[in-house]
Structure 1
Amino acid sequence: MTPPEAPTNGSASRGNVPPAVSACLWTIRKRADFLRAARATRQGRPGMMVQARKRGEAEEAGQDSNAIRVGFTCSKKVGNAVARNRAKRRLREVARLELPVHGRPGWDYVLIGRRDVTAECPFEQLRADLVRALEKLHGASS
């Protein structure tokens, strides 16, 4: 089965939809980066915990200094593998939508899922939790 073709007559509008993959978001993959974020400031919200830190000049050498890096984690307390993966998928989507707008270049963010909340709460509430956490984190660090 082949996917449908995009309209060629210009009827498809881009609208106000963020891109599927944001060019300014990088994923944190190294444990050392997660540990550095864990020692930095954090903000707890009902749907998630957000850790944030401004990267130093020495860390910027190998990558774009304007990049926003983000990591995701859920402990086994969140539930079985299915529940953890669902929570992380939701956190990834919230980060994709909100960090390009409310995040700051040169910062690392780690989003941590909460038990029985991250995977179940309404998506708009999860988005609002991230925005509010970022406002508080950057308000305190400005």
Structure 2
Amino acid sequence: MTDANSAPKMAVMKTRPEFLRTASARRQTAPAFLLQARDRKDGDPKIQVGFTASKKTGNSVVRSRAKRRLREAARAVLLPKGQPGWDYVLVARPGATVTRLFTDLLADLETALAKVHEARK
């Protein structure tokens, strides 16, 4: 059992510059989304996460559903397995984010996260 104070906090990105800084860093594709990640190197242990779905994803109802699914996946995977001090952006893919089984979506996020954090050669 972990102490609630030792677990990293998760904050949601809201400003365009935050998204742009993360977009220029590491990327990992997955069947249902694109994961962008960067180490902030600012000493703040919180995990920042952003969600985006372009109009290519579908109408507003479909985009909202895609972002809700990505938010829930981030809550389930990024909090326990994300690195403190990192920013993550999950970009929805047209069709795939909404139609993929949620268990597969979680597995995709775990795999993408592991690949982003594996040692660079």
Please give the TM-score of this superposition, normalised by the length of structure 2: 0.90
Partner SS state of residue 98, structure 1: helix
Q: Distance in 2 between matches of 1:140 and 1:115?
A: 30
Structure 2 unpaired stretches of 5+ = 2-6
Counterpart Cα distance in 1 of 2:92 and 2:63:
8
Shift of residue 141, structure 1, vs aligned partner? 4.8
Cα distance, 1:89 vs structure 2: 0.1
1:1-142 pair list within 5 angstroms? 24-57=9-42, 65-141=44-120
Higher helix fraction (1 or 2): 2
The structure with the larger Rg is 1
Q: Unpaired segments of 5 or more residues in structure 1? A: 1-15, 17-21
Percent identity between matched residues is 48
How many equivalent pairs are there?
A: 116
**CA–CA distance in 2 between the matches of 1:120 and 1:139?**
29
Large movers: runs of 4+ above 3 Å: none
Cα RMSD of the aligned pairs, angstroms, is 1.8
TM-score when scaled to structure 1?
A: 0.77
